[in-house]
């Protein structure tokens, strides 16, 4: 894996980060806060990885899913208590505080969306006989 910057993916990542920040600051409950935010966060992580590395689509989606699932599964443990971060708003925001199976579903749907978009882009470029550097 090499560092390689892609302005398109980094612009998408910045936009998604701003949306995630707005959700975290202004919405305290509901579907958008608890489920849609999780859906978007894997797309954000994917955009960051694709914007900063030369990993393939497949490798990037796998890495993002492993990270997301790992963080969610760590919520089954007293990790924040062990690190003395149980009262930290930022730590709870990043790592979460309670395991939710629906979060795993949201992460999976986010990655499936990424794959659908990437495949659509690839098909479009193939029909136009344009090279898409993936």
Q: Does residue 2 belong to any structural domain of this protein?
A: no
* Nearest alpha-carbon partner for 42 in 113, 96, 117, 110: 110
pLDDT of residue 126: 78
Q: Does residue 79 belong to any structural domain of this protein?
A: yes
pLDDT in tens for each of the 134 residues of the chain? Answer: 889 999 999 999 999 999 999 998 898 888 998 899 999 999 999 999 999 999 999 999 999 999 999 999 999 999 899 999 989 988 887 888 889 999 999 999 999 999 999 999 988 877 776 665 55
| Number of domains forming the structure of the chain | 1
Q: Does residue 41 belong to any structural domain of this protein?
A: yes
Q: At CA 83, angle to CA 81 and CA 86, rounded to 5?
A: 40
For 18, the domain range is 7-127
Q: Does residue 45 belong to any structural domain of this protein?
A: yes
Q: Does residue 120 belong to any structural domain of this protein?
A: yes
Do the Cβ atoms of 38 and 107 come closer than 8 Å?
yes
Q: Does residue 48 belong to any structural domain of this protein?
A: yes
Alpha-carbon distances, residue 120 vs 51, 84, 97, 111, 127 (angstroms): 19, 45, 36, 14, 11
pLDDT of residue 50: 97
Q: Does residue 132 belong to any structural domain of this protein?
A: no
Q: Does residue 133 belong to any structural domain of this protein?
A: no
The pTM assigned to this predicted structure is 0.87
């Amino acid at each position: 894996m090499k560092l390689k910057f892609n302005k398109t993916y980094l612009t998408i990542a910045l936009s998604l980060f701003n949306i995630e920040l707005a959700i975290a600051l202004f919405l305290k409950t509901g579907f958008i806060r608890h489920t849609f935010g999780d859906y978007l966060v894997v797309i954000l992580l994917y955009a960051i990885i694709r914007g900063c590395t030369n990993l393939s689509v497949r490798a990037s989606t796998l890495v993002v899913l492993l990270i997301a699932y790992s963080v969610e599964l760590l919520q089954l443990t007293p990790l924040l208590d062990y690190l003395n971060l149980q009262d930290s708003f930022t730590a709870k925001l990043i790592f979460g505080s309670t395991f939710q199976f629906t979060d795993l579903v949201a992460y999976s749907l986010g990655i499936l969306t990424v794959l659908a978009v990437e495949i659509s882009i690839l098909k479009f470029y193939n029909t136009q006989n344009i090279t898409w550097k993936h």
